[in-house]
Amino acid sequence: MRETLTFAAPRLAWRASLARRMDALNKLADAELVARTLQGNRDAFGEMVRRHQTFAYNVALRVVGNRADALDVTQDAFVRAYDALASFDATRPFAPWLSAIVTNLALNFVQRKRPALELQAELRAPSRADPAQRALDSEQQARVRAALHELSPQWRAVIELRHFQEMSYDEIAAALELPISDVKSHLFRARQKLKQLLEASE
């Protein structure tokens, strides 16, 4: 009994210390977490991942259209974000910067590795095997999902950055490394197509 206590006590103390550190990180703003990460504190970046993973996953999901691949893209995006963190302007919000990375990776993923994804129907309708998801998906959202996944990946990426992340044409062009004229062209044509698809589904 005494031995168990002897071994358990340091572990418990370590866990309590870890919990305290995590709790302290949890209260910090993104900019402070970024600054600490750049100073070599990787736990600070872990807090960033926990804080933004749902957001990043949803960005990836809207572009990739498949939950398993969206999870992979989300992980890759955080690693990419970590590598590029020195270029992040800490006076600006973190989420739009991250969304540009996620969208870019998701777009590359769809275009290069999985052209067959275009034919996947996972997100064209709510998952029937998942009652919680079914409950979450309103009929309207299901219609929009279906319409969104009729678009080309590049059009989806532009829609994601313009309508979900509210980026300007310039910011989208920089994020996707496209000329502004292409951004406008993709965006306007995507809207036209969506308009037709949504009208047709009513």
Partner 1 sequence: MKTHLDFTTLNLYLDDALDATARARVDAHLAQCDACRAELNALHQVADTFAAWRSEPIPRDVSAPVMARVRQRPVPGSRARWGVAALGAQVALIILLVAWALPQLLRALTGVNLPPALLPAWNWKLPMFSLPALPGASFPLPALSLWMWGALLAGAVILWLIGNRLVWRTLANKREALQ
Binding stretches for partner 1 (CB under 8 A): 37-40, 42, 45-46, 49-50, 53-55, 57-58, 61, 67, 71, 74-75, 78-79, 82-86, 133, 136, 138, 140-141, 144, 159, 162-164, 169, 184, 187-188, 191-192, 194-195, 198-199
Q: How far is the CB of 40 from partner 1 (least distance, A)?
A: 5
State how far the Cα of 1 lies from the Cα of 45, in Å rounded to an integer.
39
Q: How far is the CB of 9 from partner 1 (least distance, A)?
A: 26
Residue pair 147/137 in contact (Cβ under 8 Å)? The answer is no
Q: How far is the CB of 96 from partner 1 (least distance, A)?
A: 16
Q: How far is the CB of 108 from partner 1 (least distance, A)?
A: 13
Q: Which is nearer to partner 1, 159 or 178 (CB)?
A: 159
Residue pair 162/116 in contact (Cβ under 8 Å)? The answer is no
How many C-beta atoms lie closer than 10 Å to residue 98's C-beta?
23
- Containing H/E element for 54? helix 42-64
Q: Which is nearer to partner 1, 111 or 185 (CB)?
A: 185
Q: How far is the CB of 170 from partner 1 (least distance, A)?
A: 10
Largest pairwise CA distance in the chain: 74
Q: Which is nearer to partner 1, 10 or 40 (CB)?
A: 40
Amino acid at 81: A
Q: Which is nearer to partner 1, 8 or 79 (CB)?
A: 79
Q: Which is nearer to partner 1, 56 or 107 (CB)?
A: 56
Residue pair 65/120 in contact (Cβ under 8 Å)? The answer is yes
C-alpha distances in angstroms, 129 versus 43, 125, 126, 198? 36, 11, 9, 25
